Amino acid sequence: MVDMRLYAKIIAKSSLMLAWEKVLANKGAPGGDRQTLDDFAESLERNLEGLHAALRSASYRPGPIRNVSIPKRDGSPRRLSIPSVADRVVQTALCQGLTPILEPEMEDASFAYRPGRSVQMAVERVGRYFRQGYHWVVDGDIDDYFDSIPHHGLMAVLRRYVDDQDVLGLIAQWLAHAHAGGVGVSQGSPLSPLLANIYLDDMDERIGRTGARLVRFADDFLLLCKSEERARESLAAMSALLAEYGLGLNPDKTRIVNFEQGFEFLGRLFVRSMALEREQESDAPQETPPGPTPDDPSPPVEPLHQASEGPGFQDLSPRLRVMYLSRKGCRLDVRGRAFVVRSGPEPDAPELMVVLPSQLDRVELWPGCDISQKAQRFALECRTPVAYVDGWGRTLGVLEPMVADKAALHLAQAAVALDETKRLALARLICAGRVRGQRALLMRLNRRRKNSDIESNLAAFKQLPRRIATATTISELLGLEGEAAKRYWASLALLLDKSWGFSSRQRRPPRDGVNMVISYVASMLYRDLRCLAARHGLHPGFASLHGSLDGKPGCISDLVEEFRAPLCEGLAVYLANNHILKKEMFYKTDKWPCHVTPEGRETIIRAYEAWLDRPVKSPRSGEKVKWRGLLEEQVLAYRDHVMGRSVYAPYDMKY
């Protein structure tokens, strides 16, 4: 039996479960054993238990790797070594344990694959140095970097920071498994970005002592200098340093240039004082490691919008980037033109994260967290909504910009709400969308169990769409929705682990862990849709099924209906039945029947983000989008319906 220290934290079942959630969220192709994410998820608990046991007994061995080549933008091949799903889980767990140790050691000049850092931040750093008079540049590239890292040198660096021999042995085992020659770190592995960054950390520090200003993004770097002579000296110093680390420069991609001539870095063309973004032609590195969606445990921010580029295009942009402030004592502040998360209320409290407004679409403040007045004003200026959330996940209020000046759209919404015929027609569609979603989820969950009571309820569900289509009043529709809900919640209770004590939907207040999760997730989904509706000018108050009432954003309630089954109840069942949620994450008090611990809250938030990060087929384009992409499509479809451009079609989850 191996000794348990840092290793014990890394291989703990809770750590492996969190790692699995990140691997699932990052998608990724099968490894050499051809096991897919869906295959692994079918026996999730058994697979994670097996990994834990193998790691604990020191009998773990890496599985087969799938080697593939994809073309770079210059046409040359890039070799990817894709680990199995199980190995990606273990490597991601290792990253979770090592990142807090290694990340603080890394130099400020490094921007790739690091939490809270991005291409845009590197670009802004270049601009700052230009304004300080650094107008000569060594535009460099480390030749074949990932495949050239020597194992002995890398392990020597790691030993400075990690004294757990079992952790070091695990890393050495992976390195040797993927590269038997003692050189190279696999592209496509979740662990590689962290190892690649820490190996160059000493070099980053040493080149900084020469007087040049370094900006490095993985193997691409700039050395900014105040004269051409100093640039030549810096180039020679960098070449000598790299040789010490067993590395070299790519002569075809390394040159000395100045801002007057212009140069390209990270997809931007720097000319004089301008940084112009280039599209499609750039050979700049992406903000995630190359390869088929690797499982990076700290995925950086992606661009907000991408435009379709023809057949086969997959718009997997996230559409909404959300900052959740849930750890007690955190405070949102401003420094310069960026949001800053501080560890306490003091103005000089340590900074935990810096986020540019362009990287953020909305903020959630949970109990025990605060926001400065300066940050409130900055959020309004940047049109970034800030939601205040209570301990049950409910929205207390939202600090948001004024409703968009979309008079024609608001009048069209009002016209539908005031015309009983138009309102009823749209309400029928929304009600039908909710009921179809309930039926599809039950069919999926009961596919293997074949519970006869559930099958009986599903038979009754078949009749509801026709009755909804012929309903003559809103009250009749609400009655049919209630009839469906009664059968739905009774069936869902039969599909859940009985130890959770779930028997029916109870909202105010939730009386058990499952009800609590459903309420939490529904509230987060509600806030996502409100943000997307505001983005496209919809007035939140004009509605059809839920009515237009003062203080009630009925439009958002309409939009959320079709997504409750796949995104709220579906996630809650997954978390409960796979024991991702633990009973100890929930507790009772004399006043309330159910509370959630901070650990439970964080688990729910992380799971919600991972759930929405999965791809789903768009019914309109036929291409894959992420779930928030589909939410935005439905917001636009709702808008087009009230404007008379098309008829609204709710999302239809397929069985």
Distances in Å between the alpha carbon of 45 and those of 16, 41, 483, 547?
10, 8, 35, 44
The per-residue DSSP string of 5-54 comes to: SHHHHHHSHHHHHHHHHHHHHT-----TT---HHHHHHTHHHHHHHHHHH
Q: Supply 84's token pair.
A: 């199995």
User: Are the CB atoms for 536 and 639 separated by under 8 Å?
Assistant: yes
Interatomic CA distance for residues 352 and 358, integer angstroms: 18
The DSSP symbol for 408 reads H
Do the Cβ atoms of 605 and 537 come closer than 8 Å?
A: no
> Which H or E element spans position 156?
helix 151-161
Report whether 84 contacts 64 (CB < 8 A). yes
Report the interhelical angle of 13-25 vs 85-102 (nearest 10°).
110
**SS3 for 606-642, per residue?**
HHHHHHHCCEEECCCCCCEEEHHHHHHHHHHHHHHHH
- Contacts (Cβ under 8 Å, ≥6 apart) of 586: 512, 513, 516, 594, 595, 596, 597, 600
Please report which helix (H) or strand (E) contains residue 216, including its range: strand 213-217
Alpha carbon distance 263, 165 (integer Å) = 45
Pairing of strands 331-335, 370-371: parallel
Contact 216, 207 (CB under 8 A): no
CB burial of residue 229 (10 Å; 0-12, 13-18, 19+): exposed
561 is in an annotated binding site: yes
595 is in an annotated binding site: no
First vs last Cα of the chain: how many Å apart? Answer: 46
DSSP-assigned letters across all residues of 226-290: SSHHHHHHHHHHHHHHHHHTT--B-GGG-EEEETTT-EEETTEEEETTEEEEP-SS--PPPSS-S
**Residue among 25, 44, 497 at smallest CA distance from 299:** 25
* Longest pairwise C-alpha distance within the chain: 83
Cβ atoms 41, 24 nearer than 8 A: yes
Q: Both tokens of residue 161?
A: 């920071």
d(C-alpha 477, C-alpha 640), whole Å: 23
Is 536 annotated in a binding site? The answer is: no
Q: Which of 492, 493, 501 is nearest to 583 (CA)?
A: 501
Q: What is the length of the chain?
A: 655
Rounded (5°) CA angle 279-280-286? 85
* Binding site listing for Mn(2+): 481, 546, 561
* Binding site listing: 481, 546, 561
